[in-house]
Amino acid sequence: MLKHLVLTRVLVHLAAKPKPYRAIDTHAGLGVYDLEAEEAGRTGEWHDGFGRLDAPFAADVEALLAPYRAAVAAVRARHGATTYPGSPAIIREHLRAGDKGVFVELHPVDAETLGARYASDSRTKVMYLDGWTALNALIPPPERRGVVLIDPPYEEHGEIDRLGQHLLKAARKWPTGIYLGWYPIKDLSAVDRMAAALDTGLERPALRLDLMIERPDDPTRLSGTGLIVINPPWMLAAEAELFLPALAERLARSGYGAFRSERLGRGE
């Protein structure tokens, strides 16, 4: 949910200027998910995340959540009341006539499903390709402005370090692009190590946004999630200072909720 909210805020800021942009999702998944399907029902994770957002927040926080809530509503109107949008669906709902969305997925069945889902939309393109390969191949885009979302499955050891390395490489190749690198928070030391490397190596400004819903004292348990945002829109840091504490309070488990909004790299 944090990933989709921050992605939405970035897309809103990109759309504030008339020039077209390109949104690239390197690990796209299925695009739309049924919360009543067997897998979602088995884990039940959404109940403690998106499922706890029904009650409104304070007005200033609700104003920031409004485009995200609108995207969810639009996807549900199209696909059914029990669906939840993945990042491709979030992106699609924000594309204007001249904007482009590129969705990359390596799993053959998921890529086929995604391709069929968006085949009729000329603004989108689905690619069956490794996401890390696509990250290097697809930047800089023809529009020269846009956002790249990197959300790998984290099934292999060292993926958080790998994320940091690829973000550094990508930012050197396309210095003005906006990058969103999502990570799970289990072993907090791994995230700290990656963030420190980015702080030292980045020539561009960045934000580290963490949302913790359990105490990070068990490296085998998912305690929270976070995002590295390279070249964040100038208002995003101030927005995060509003929505992060509100989400930490609402989603806290066992009386613990925390957040971090920290600047990295070299500011402009």
Options 25, 48, 54, 151, the catalytic residue: 151
Angle separating helix axes 188-201 and 159-173, nearest 10 degrees: 20
Q: What angle do CA 66, 69, 72 make, to 5 degrees?
A: 150
Known catalytic residue at 151: yes
Place of tokens 């906006």: 178
**Active site members:** 151
